[in-house]
Amino acid sequence: MSQQPQDLLKAIIQRTQQQDYPDLKVDDYFEIFAAQQVLKKCNFDQDFNEIESGVVGGGDDGGVDGFYLFVNRRLIREDTDLSIFKGQQLNIEVIVIQAKNKNSFEESVPQKMTSFMEECFRLGASEEQAKTLYSQGLRDAVMKFHKLYEDGLTMKPTLSISYFHVAHSDQVHRKVKTRGQILVDKTKQYFPTVKCSYTPVTGSDLVTLFHQQSKHTLSLLTSKYFDWNTFERQAYICVVALPDFYSFITREEDEQLLEYVFEANVRDHAPDAKVNEGIQTTLSNPAGDDFWWLNNGVTIIASDASLKNGSLQIENPTIVNGLQTSYELFHHFKNAGGDRKDKRTILVKVIVNSKEDTSDRIINATNSQTKINAINLHATEKVQRTIETALKTEGYFYDRRKNFYRNQGKPVEKIITIPFMAQAVTAIVL
């Protein structure tokens, strides 16, 4: 890495640490910073509490600073109820991170990760040996992975394990790459069907990822639509071909799901296995009825929308209803070999709205008949607005919308999320 980008990275780390974590040592903060950028690279949009929950660096970390487990794109934390996945087809993604606040990639990092794989991470590893060698926090995270993977084996889960080695340098020695390949090969020995990778994340990568912004305007191709302007709102009802809706919710360059499109406080709902199975059955029968006849469709809230050349240009789109449908469509075309020329359609409602209270009512009404974790709809309640207003008078920011204040540049130490507030109140009461 040349001196100028290296100086820029150091400045970014220093400035963001002073703003967000002024009391942390720089090496400890770099683990959080690196995890944030790696998760962004993997197209996950987590708030700072969720990022911190996966940081396991410290004593007996075995060369692992960050360990993140996702099931069907949902982050698994220490208090996640694993029973919600019972009977479901699981897509398990594990992200393992080692972050070195140094200007070099050390050969010892992939070596330690290989030892961690053999002594703790693999199925059947000695619990007593792991207990001696690795911290409780890291072992707890691994145990959750083991339970999910083993319980779901009869449903033939898909498994992805991604190792990330983060440092300031732009130069990665071939010995480090070779050690990384050994790690990948060893992982495949223990998990024969796994999709596995070892990726060095350089200083230039970190700078690029830090400045990476989500795309705010998306194009939705529609063959038929009905639009009107009433109640001082512009709205559209669109008939959209299934492959075109897949393109709308997918990042073009790598065909990954655009997580930021989904409403932050309802996207982590507990999926209904029977509903998902019904959607999958419909999608896998292209010779049957049109899809929109059998599906309620999708509701999108946007800050603006306009029609141009057969496409609806949607500014700041947020899918607030139809999450299960969207996820199943994504997996149908991405993983299940769905026909990209499928002519079936889905009904999409697009409501242009800038008033937050109206958005809350839409979210609450359109999700009221869906099995959703209760805390995810509390954001729309009046009391939550009152808490937000009250905390602002004391210089704190209540994150009713996931990452809303973080994206505005507010310091992390001043942001309070709904789950954190709930935990604090529960702790006080108990």
Which residue spans within 32-157 are E strands per DSSP? 66-71, 74-75, 91-99
What's the pLDDT at 321?
Answer: 86
CB 286 within 8 A of CB 339: yes
- State residue 370's pLDDT score: 47
pLDDT at 58: 76
Strand 298-302 and strand 345-352: pairing? parallel
- pLDDT tens-digit map of 323-358: 889 988 998 998 888 889 999 999 999 998 766 666
State how far the Cα of 409 lies from the Cα of 415, in Å rounded to an integer. Answer: 10
Q: What are phi and psi of 417, to 5 degrees?
A: -90, 160
Reduced to 3 states (helix: H, G, I; strand: E, B; else coil), residue 197 is strand
What whole-number distance in Å separates Cα of residue 388 and Cα of residue 344?
44
Question: 286 near 242, Cβ under 8 Å?
Answer: no
Three-state DSSP at 273 gives: helix
Predicted local distance difference test score (pLDDT) of residue 114: 96
Strand duo 304-308 + 311-315: pairing? antiparallel
Both tokens of 51, joined, read 């990022």
Tell me: the pLDDT tens digits for 356-394? 666 666 666 666 544 444 455 556 567 787 888 888 888
Provide the whole-model pTM.
0.70
Q: In angstroms, rounded to a whole number, what is the distance separating the alpha carbons of residues 346 and 324?
A: 13
For residue 317 the two structure tokens come to: 């789109």
Q: What three-state secondary structure class fits 295?
A: coil
Report the DSSP beta bridge partners of residue 234: 229
Neighbours of 266 (CB within 10 A): 22
Helix count and strand count (H, E) for the chain: 14, 15
3-class SS shares of the chain: helix, strand, coil, % to 5: 45, 20, 35
Q: How confident is the model at residue 265 (pLDDT cuts 50, 70, 90)?
A: very low
Nearest to 96 by CA among 209, 197, 210, 194: 197
Domains and CATH numbers, the chain: 3-211 (3.40.91), 217-367 (no CATH), 381-429 (no CATH)
The residue-averaged pLDDT of 273-295 equals: 83
Check pLDDT > 50 for residue 164. yes
Tokens encoding 142:
């691994």
What would the pLDDT profile of 7-18 be if each residue is shown by its tens digit?
Answer: 889 999 999 998
Are the beta carbons of 110 and 198 closer than 8 angstroms? yes
pLDDT tens, position by position, 387-412: 888 888 888 999 877 777 876 778 88
Q: Which of 96, 253, 248, 216 is nearest to 163 (CA)?
A: 96
Listed in order, strand segments (DSSP E) in 242-395 are 298-302, 304-308, 311-315, 318-321, 345-352
